[in-house]
Amino acid sequence: MLILGIETSCAETSAAVVAGTGNAVTQRSLVILSQDVHRVFGGVVPEIASRAHVTAIVPVVRQALADASTTLDDIDVVAVTNAPGLVGALLVGVSYAKGLALGAGKSLIGVHHMEGHLFAQSLEYADAVPPFTALLVSGGHTLLVDVTAWGEYRVLGATRDDAAGEAFDKVAKLLGLPYPGGRHIERLARDGDPGRFRFARPMLRRNQKPGDEDFYDVSFSGLKTAVLLAVRESTDLERDAPHLARGFQDSLVETLVEKVYRAAEQHDRRRVVLGGGVACNQALVVAMKKRLAEAGAEVYAPSVRLATDNAAMIARAGLFHAERGERDGWELNAFASRVLGRG
Ligand code: KG4
Ligand code: ZN
């Protein structure tokens, strides 16, 4: 099957073509246009995002088809992210995908954005296939998922408040760093002394047991407040900033690593798949690999292009559903939030 994927859920206008069958799927092209403009505002401005998608969508899709040396005629199904995300932004992709499919006589399939993230690594690593434990950490989501098979997802834990990427971005702001702040914190933390600021590990207690409500969940707003208080108390923020960044990152990383370790151990998984922008963080990836090796598990971390929002993962997830004969009607709509999966 040849699938055209379209992704416009947040601040990336992206299109891609993937081809194949079963788990033998290859990425034929991937175009990502990142909307840099949001840096000026320190966060994604929904209307600006939607308008930028409207401007970019036609050339981005054309380029993806051209890079794959194909045309719309050869495409079997158009797969488009229809949830979750910014509704105005999603609607651009959904409406465009509908017009394209309707005009070319193709069928259409809506894809859950987070399901796309689960598929991203399989485009790079042949072994990154179920069963696995997945940690999806982005600016909007923090999800711990047990994946028994493609299409069968059990959300084990989530954040109770801020997403991991959101925590990075907020702490970056406190330290006077640009938006989005994750990679700036990571860079600054390299020069930080891990012993200067030790913040509590949120929702991580030794006596937690499987079945406890907070066994898998995370929470980062208390950690952010702890950093805020330390920033206020600092007499020399320039001197302390690397140490604060390090203390914050260590706390967040250790928390996520331990929750993933628990999930893999409890479900006897030998593979762990990371996804979302925060999965670009090398401190997280290195710590995860080290700890999960103790459980005999392999950790798959995607490259930057496939970790962040992209249409290749949407096309890949769309291919899985399309091969099962699933399709959506012309009434397909966009939703700000939706449980993981289809339907
Ligand atoms: O998945 P993504 O590109 O977009 C969505 O939010 O869906 O994730 C963006 C998030 C931002 O919060 C950004 O600060 C964070 O990923 N991020 C990082 C790193 N690179 C990006 N966080 C920590 N370390 C990084 N190296
Ligand atoms: Zn995402």
Each residue's pLDDT tens digit, 224-252:
999 999 999 999 999 999 999 999 999 99
* The dihedral sign for the CA sequence 239, 244, 247, 249: negative
Q: How far is the CA of 11 from the centre of ligand 1 (A)?
A: 12
The confidence score (pLDDT) of residue 224 equals: 96
For residue 11, being part of any structural domain is answered with: yes
Token code pair at residue 228:
């805020």
Distance 67 CA to ligand 1 centre (A): 27
pLDDT at residue 42 in the model? 84
pTM for the complete prediction? 0.96
In the chain the first and final C-alpha atoms are separated, in Å, by 22
Q: Which ligand is nearest to the CA of 38?
A: 1
Query: pLDDT category, 205, cuts 50, 70, 90?
Result: confident
Same-domain pairing of 109 and 197: no
One domain for residues 156 and 248: yes
Tell me whether residue 264 is in a domain: yes
Give the residue from 315, 250, 337, 323 showing the smallest Cα distance to 111.
Answer: 315
Q: At which residue do the structure tokens 């993981």 appear?
A: 340
Residue 342 lies inside a defined structural domain of this protein: no
> Which residues have a beta carbon within 5 Å of ligand 2, which is an ion?
138, 309
Tokens 């702040």 correspond to 181
Cβ pair 160, 219 in contact under 8 A: yes
Quick one: which atom of ligand 1 is closest to the CA of 304? Answer: 20
Residues 65-93 have a mean pLDDT of 98
Is the separation of the CB atoms in 342 and 132 below 8 Å? Answer: no
110/158 same-domain check: no
- Element containing residue 312 per DSSP (H, E): helix 311-323
Within a domain: 125: no
pLDDT in tens, 279-291: 999 999 999 999 9
Mutate to test the pocket of ligand 1, among 38, 168, 306 (most ligand atoms within 8 A of CB): 168
d(CA 20, CA 23): 8
Both 151 and 196 in one domain: the answer is yes
Ligand 1 atom 13, closest CA? 182
The residues that bridge with 274 in the sheet, in sequence order, are 135
Q: Do 194 and 58 fall into the same domain?
A: no
* Together in a domain, 170 and 98: no
Pocket lining for ligand 1, CB < 6 angstroms: 10, 138-140, 165, 168-169, 180-183, 186, 276-278, 280-281, 308-309
Q: What's the domain range around 86? A: 2-118+306-323
Q: Ligand 1 test: best mutation among 13, 141, 280, most atoms within 8 Å of CB?
A: 280
Q: Which two tokens stand for residue 24?
A: 């033998």
Domain shared by 159 and 104, yes or no: no
Residue recorded with tokens 């990142």:
34
Domain CATH code at residue 60: 3.30.420.40
Nearest CA to ligand 1 atom 14: 182
| CA pair distance 155, 159, nearest whole angstrom | 11
Same domain, 297 and 311: no
Q: Is 269 found in the same domain as 248?
A: yes
- Tell me the CA–centroid distance for residue 1 and ligand 1, in Å: 31
Helix, coil or strand: residue 134: strand
Q: Does residue 19 lie in a domain region? A: yes
Closest CA to 87 of 60, 107, 113: 113
**Same-domain status, 273 and 150:** yes
- 163/26 same-domain check: no
Q: Is residue 277 part of a domain?
A: yes
Domain count of the fold of the chain: 2
Find the 278 Cα to ligand 1 centroid distance in Å: 4
The ligand whose atoms approach the alpha carbon of 81 most closely is 2
Q: Among positive and negative, which fits the CA dihedral 32, 33, 36, 42? A: negative
Report the pLDDT value the prediction gives residue 337, as an integer from 0 to 100: 94
Interval between CA 104 and ligand 2 midpoint (Å): 29
- Both 180 and 230 in a single domain? yes
Q: How many whole angstroms from its chain centre is CA 49? A: 18
Has residue 332 been placed in a domain? no
Q: What is the pLDDT of residue 197?
A: 96
pLDDT recorded at residue 343: 56
Specify if 331 maps to a domain: no
